[in-house]
C-alpha cells in the first residue's frame, strides 16, 4: 500500500490538545479555534474530535444546542464547511443514567439527547458521539463510612447501575439513530471510572441490555493500560465487528502524549482492526492543560499551543506533535497494507 492510499483513510485530531471546552458563546475564542483548524487541516487532518463540556446549571439544553449551531456557522464561514467533526461526551454526577432514581435518569436522558443534537449540529449525518457517557466520569462510590468500594464489592455494586441504565440507553440509541449519529461508549482506565473500564464490559452491557444500535470505541491507550491481553483484544475486536458495534478507534499513546515513538503495539492492533474497520481514526493527545494536568496528574511538560502559549526551547509545539502523529499513523497503515498484500 502506498502512502497516498493510506491517506484515503480519514484521520481526525482531538482538540484535547488545546481545550476541554469550546466556549461556543465566546466569539474571541472561536477565532483561536479557527486558527487551530486552519493549521491542522493544512497538516493533513480531515476531521476533528471536540469535547462537549457540561453547560452552566442555569442554561437549558436548548440554549446549549443553539450556541453550537452558531459555532458551526462560524466554522463554515471561516472555510471549514467540508471539515468533519465528532464529539467526546461524558456523563456527570447530576446527569447519571445509572442512578437508582428514575427522575435523575430522565434528566440524564435529556442531557444525553442534547449531546446527540450538538453532535449532529457539528458533525452532520453519520458522525460519532464517543466518550465515557455510561457511568459518570470521575465519580467513585463510597460506603456509608466514607470508604472506597473496590474489587468484587465494586463489581457487585455496578450490576444494578448497568441494569438501571438499560432502558435509558435503548431510548437514547433510538434517538441517535433517528438523528444519524453513531454512539460509541468508550471504556476508560480504572482510575478514571469504576466502569466500564474494558471493551468487554461495554459489549456485555450492550448485549445484555439488548441495544442493537449502539457501539463502542477502542482506544489504544485504554487497551494497553486496562488490558486483558492480546487474545481477549482480538476476540473483542471480532465480537464488536460482527455485531456492527466497532464505531470508533482512537490512536493514543499510553502516557496520552506524543504518538510518535510511543508504546503502541501497532502490529497487534492494526492486524485486528484494519480488516474490519472502515471508519475514521482519531489521534488523541491530552496536553498538560487544565483540567487534564490535575485530573490526570501530568508531570510531563506542556506542548506549547501556537497563538496561545509562548514558544519554549526544547519543547515541541502542539502542531509538531500533531504533524508527527499523522505521519506515524499513515506509515503504520501503509506498513500493515504491505504486510497484508506483499
State what percent of residues in the chain have pLDDT above 90: 88
Cα 93 to Cα 97, 137, 171, distances in angstroms: 10, 8, 20
**Residue with cell string 457539528:** 122
Give 12-70 pLDDT, tens digit per residue.
999 999 999 999 999 999 999 999 999 999 999 999 999 999 987 778 999 999 999 99
pLDDT at 9: 87
> Length of the chain in residues, anyone?
342
pLDDT at 2: 43
| R_g of the chain, CA atoms, integer Å | 19
pLDDT at 113: 98
Asked if pLDDT for residue 86 goes beyond 80, the answer is yes
pLDDT at 259: 96
Secondary structure E strands in 73-196: 84-88, 127-131, 181-185
pTM confidence score: 0.95
List, as one string, the DSSP characters of 296-342: TT--SPPPB-TTTS---TTS-BHHHHHHHHHHHHHHHHHHHHHHH--
Weakest mean pLDDT among 97-101, 165-169, 181-185, 300-304: 300-304
Mean pLDDT of the chain: 94
Give 272-307 pLDDT, tens digit per residue.
999 999 999 999 999 999 999 888 888 889 999 999
**How far is residue 57's CA from residue 92's CA, in Å, rounded to a whole number?**
12
Amino acid at each position: 500500500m502506498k502512502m497516498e492510499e493510506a491517506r484515503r483513510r480519514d484521520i481526525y485530531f482531538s482538540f484535547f490538545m488545546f481545550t476541554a471546552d469550546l466556549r461556543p458563546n465566546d466569539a474571541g475564542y472561536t477565532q483561536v479555534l479557527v486558527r487551530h483548524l486552519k493549521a491542522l487541516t493544512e497538516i493533513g487532518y480531515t476531521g476533528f474530535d471536540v469535547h462537549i463540556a457540561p453547560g452552566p446549571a442555569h442554561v437549558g439544553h436548548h440554549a446549549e444546542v443553539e450556541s453550537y449551531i452558531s459555532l458551526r456557522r462560524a466554522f463554515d464561514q471561516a472555510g471549514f464547511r467540508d471539515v468533519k467533526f465528532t464529539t467526546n461526551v461524558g456523563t456527570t454526577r447530576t446527569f447519571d443514567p445509572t442512578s437508582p432514581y428514575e427522575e435523575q435518569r430522565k434528566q440524564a436522558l435529556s442531557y444525553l439527547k442534547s449531546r446527540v443534537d450538538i453532535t449532529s449540529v457539528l458533525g452532520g449525518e453519520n458522525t460519532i458521539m464517543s466518550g465515557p457517557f455510561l457511568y459518570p466520569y470521575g465519580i467513585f462510590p463510597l460506603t456509608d463510612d466514607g470508604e472506597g468500594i473496590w474489587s468484587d464489592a465494586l463489581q457487585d455494586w455496578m450490576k444494578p447501575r448497568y441494569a438501571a441504565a438499560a432502558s435509558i440507553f435503548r431510548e437514547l440509541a433510538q434517538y441517535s439513530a433517528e438523528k444519524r449519529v453513531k454512539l460509541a461508549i468508550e471504556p476508560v482506565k480504572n482510575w478514571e471510572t469504576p466502569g466500564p473500564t474494558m471493551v468487554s464490559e461495554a459489549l456485555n452491557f450492550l448485549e445484555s441490555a439488548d441495544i442493537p444500535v449502539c457501539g463502542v470505541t477502542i482506544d489504544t491507550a485504554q487497551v494497553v493500560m486496562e488490558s486483558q491481553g492480546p487474545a481477549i483484544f482480538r476476540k473483542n475486536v471480532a465480537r464488536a465487528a460482527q455485531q456492527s458495534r466497532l464505531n470508533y478507534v482512537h490512536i493514543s499513546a499510553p502516557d496520552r502524549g506524543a504518538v510518535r515513538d510511543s508504546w503502541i503495539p501497532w502490529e497487534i492492533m492494526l492486524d485486528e482492526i484494519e480488516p474490519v474497520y472502515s471508519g475514521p481514526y482519531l489521534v488523541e493527545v491530552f496536553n498538560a492543560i487544565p483540567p487534564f494536568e490535575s485530573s490526570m496528574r501530568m508531570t510531563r511538560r506542556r506542548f506549547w499551543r501556537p497563538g496561545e502559549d509562548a514558544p519554549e526551547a526544547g519543547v515541541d509545539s502542539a502542531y509538531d506533535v500533531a504533524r508527527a502523529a499523522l505521519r506515524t499513523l499513515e506509515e503504520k497503515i501503509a506498513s500493515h497494507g504491505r504486510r497484508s498484500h506483499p
